[in-house]
Amino acid sequence: MPKGGRKGGHKGRVRQYTSPEEIDAQIKAEHEKALEAELEEGGVGASEDPTKVKKDQSSDESDEDDDYQQKRKGVEGLIDIENPNRAAQASKKVTQLDLEGPRELSRREKEEIEKQKAKERYMKLHLAGKTDQAKADLARLAIIRKQREEAAKKKEEERKSRDATAAAGKGIQSMSLSK
């Protein structure tokens, strides 16, 4: 048997929700009652226009919104709680934003900038031939140049020897023809 001695629980009951329009109407009615109470207590209500008083009160309420703190019940007023999740975050207006001031970069942006700078430093060192990879590349290029020079010398020698043999062969043929 469930606690409380009832049959059945809370499930299955019909729920009634208040529409936002009704909530707004209730809030306006409360403000009007409070306004009327102030006018009666102050006695200045006859000389002032109630719409001006409403505007003044609404500006006071906006100031209260900036210092937003709910009415604390019981011991909550005595205990000071530092919970960052509990504080209502105030939204900034476009006019309040400081666009000219230095913008703080996120962690990812900082890492990306640092990565680009490191890459630029590496490329400068690489072009100067101071990195291990650049030294290996230069050594490989030197070996290839030597091989190409040796191949060019061999081709030149072979061409000279062919020319010499061809010249010697022509000289023998020309001698045999002249006899």
Query: pLDDT tens-digit profile of 101-141?
Result: 777 889 999 999 999 999 999 999 988 988 899 999 999 99
Q: Bin 31: left if φ > 0, else alpha if -120 < ψ < 50, else beta.
A: alpha
Q: What is the DSSP track for 21-56?
A: HHHHHHHHHHHHHHHHHHHHHHS-TTTS-HHHHHHH
Question: In this structure, is residue 112 part of a structural domain?
Answer: yes
**Buried-exposed string 106-129: b where 16+ CB fall within 10 A, e elsewhere:** eeeeeeeeeeeeeeeeeeeeeeee
Site of tokens 């005595």: 78
The count of structural domains within the chain is 1
Question: In this structure, is residue 172 part of a structural domain?
Answer: yes
168 lies in which domain range?
107-178
The CA angle 165-170-174, to the nearest 5 degrees, is: 150
Say which residue, 170 or 76, is predicted with more confidence.
Answer: 170
Question: In this structure, is residue 128 part of a structural domain?
Answer: yes
Question: In this structure, is residue 165 part of a structural domain?
Answer: yes
Question: In this structure, is residue 158 part of a structural domain?
Answer: yes
Question: In this structure, is residue 11 part of a structural domain?
Answer: no
Q: What is the dihedral of CA 44, 46, 50, 56, to 10 degrees?
A: -20
Tokens representing residue 9 in the block: 């629980």
pLDDT tens column, 134-175: 999 999 999 999 999 999 999 999 999 999 888 887 766 665
CA distances from 90 to 72, 132, 139 (A): 20, 55, 64
Question: In this structure, is residue 147 part of a structural domain?
Answer: yes
Query: Sorting pLDDT into bands at 50, 70 and 90, what band is 9?
Result: low
**pTM of the entire structure?**
0.33
DSSP 8-state class, residue 2 = -
Question: In this structure, is residue 152 part of a structural domain?
Answer: yes
